[in-house]
Amino acid sequence: MDLMELLKGQLNDQLIGQLSQHIGAEPQQTASAAEGVFATILGGLANNATSEGGVSSLMAALDRDHDGSILDDLMGMVGNLTNGTANGNATNGLGILGHVLGDRQETAAAQIGQSNGLSAGQAMKLMTILAPIVMNVLGKAKSQGGLDVGSLVGMLMGSAQNAQQGGFGDLIGSVIGNVMSGNQQQANGAGGMLGSVLGSLFGKK
């Protein structure tokens, strides 16, 4: 299951139009920038999942706040965010970005904007709206797929690495460094980073 494909599948023309109007950009720019946002957030999540604490924090956040229900009415969710009436952790894009990217979110916004002819401010607006979508797609995949922690982390690692190899390597690398370097075999759980993470989680049992 490739999370990038699931995420891109959420963005129909109507939603892209709504997002474009909000950030003041052309639909083509918005669609391209959105892919960069998705890749960056996936890279950040994969980076955080290289620690036991990061995995535990992610699983807790998904169970508590991101069950995927907002995906049933994305137009409504985006509308609430753009007019300032949204509330709650499920749609708190700035909070999500703070947890996932930390002080690297401004760097990410600048890089995404520069790559798509947007200002950093426009890119940041887009990031705050798309971040809840990423978390809820991940949460829905976890709950509907019955994924345990190992399967979820493996899917996240593989999707982030696919995004890195699929044209977003420079963007992901500029934000999170070289943590995601390695081969596809490692991302699929045959060793390397994923193996060390899961070993730290379950090796002490």
What's the pLDDT tens digit per position in 114-161? 999 999 999 999 999 999 999 999 999 888 888 888 888 888 889 988
Q: Is residue 205 part of a domain?
A: no
Q: Is residue 63 part of a domain?
A: yes
Domain, as residue range, for 9 = 3-197
Identify which of 134, 161, 154 has the alpha carbon closest to the alpha carbon of residue 65. Answer: 134
Residues in the chain with pLDDT values less than 50:
178-205
| pLDDT score, position 166 | 82
Identify which of 155, 172, 154, 151 has the alpha carbon closest to the alpha carbon of residue 163. Answer: 172
- In the chain, the number of structural domains is 1
- Note the pTM of the prediction, 2 decimals: 0.84
Q: Is residue 34 part of a domain?
A: yes
Q: Is residue 204 part of a domain?
A: no
Query: Would you state the structure tokens that stand for residue 47, as one six-digit string?
Result: 């980076």
| pLDDT score, position 53 | 84
| pLDDT score, position 2 | 87
| pLDDT score, position 186 | 36
Q: Under the phi-then-psi rule, with left for phi > 0, alpha for psi from -120 to 50, and beta for the rest, what region is 175?
A: alpha
| pLDDT score, position 177 | 64
| pLDDT score, position 54 | 86
> What is the chain's percent helix, strand, coil content, to nearest 5?
80, 0, 20
Give dist(CA 117, CA 202) in Å, integer.
Answer: 45
Q: Is residue 203 part of a domain?
A: no
Q: Is residue 30 part of a domain?
A: yes
Locus of tokens 């200002």: 119
Tell me, what DSSP letter sits at residue 85?
A: -
Q: Is residue 35 part of a domain?
A: yes
Give dist(CA 46, CA 73) in Å, integer.
Answer: 27
| pLDDT score, position 23 | 96
Q: Is residue 165 part of a domain?
A: yes
